[in-house]
Amino acid sequence: MGRRVAKALAVVAVVAATALPTTPAGAATVSARVPATAHHAVGLSSVTDANFQRAVLKSKKPVVVLFTADWCGPCRQVAPRLEGIAQQHPELLGAKLNVDENPATAAKYGIRSLPTMVVFQNGKVAKTITGVKSTTALEKELVKFMTQAW
């Protein structure tokens, strides 16, 4: 009996180790085995409390900042969508700020839920978007900033 149980457990372990996660349509595909810090979108520049004024507030172009955290699953869904929009629309810059590592900026702008995206234009808050949005919904929210000539 002990061998049968051991063999069954071995089969279950192999199946579990090779099973692929399922992803809902439209969601970003990210392996469950990748550490949380690796989920951030590569194309979004990282900003910090120290460089926020120079990188965001003094920018000639509108900057949409994703306020995020490593532990935030919804943030990992939004980040690649925002990255794609920023890549397709060079008139709009995309950035991310980790609220756990940069609490001063998050507190200054009243960030209370994640993900929150804030569009800064001419050094001021021009728009705030909270929660997970599809790429289409994000584009609709940001269209005003994507069509302006800078």
- The rounded distance, in Å, linking the Cα atoms of 149 and 60 is 11
Confirm if 49 and 100 have CB atoms less than 8 A apart: no
User: Of 77, 83, 81, 73, which is closest to residue 46 (Cα–Cα)?
Assistant: 83
- Distance (Å, whole) CA 63 – CA 60: 9
Is 42 among the catalytic positions? no
Catalytic residue among 44, 47, 72, 117: 72
C-beta separation of 82 from 117 below 8 A: yes
Identified catalytic residue from 44, 55, 64, 75: 75
The DSSP letter of residue 39 is G
**Distance, CA of 89 to CA of 91 (rounded, Å):** 5
Query: Is 75 an annotated catalytic residue?
Result: yes
Active site members: 72, 75
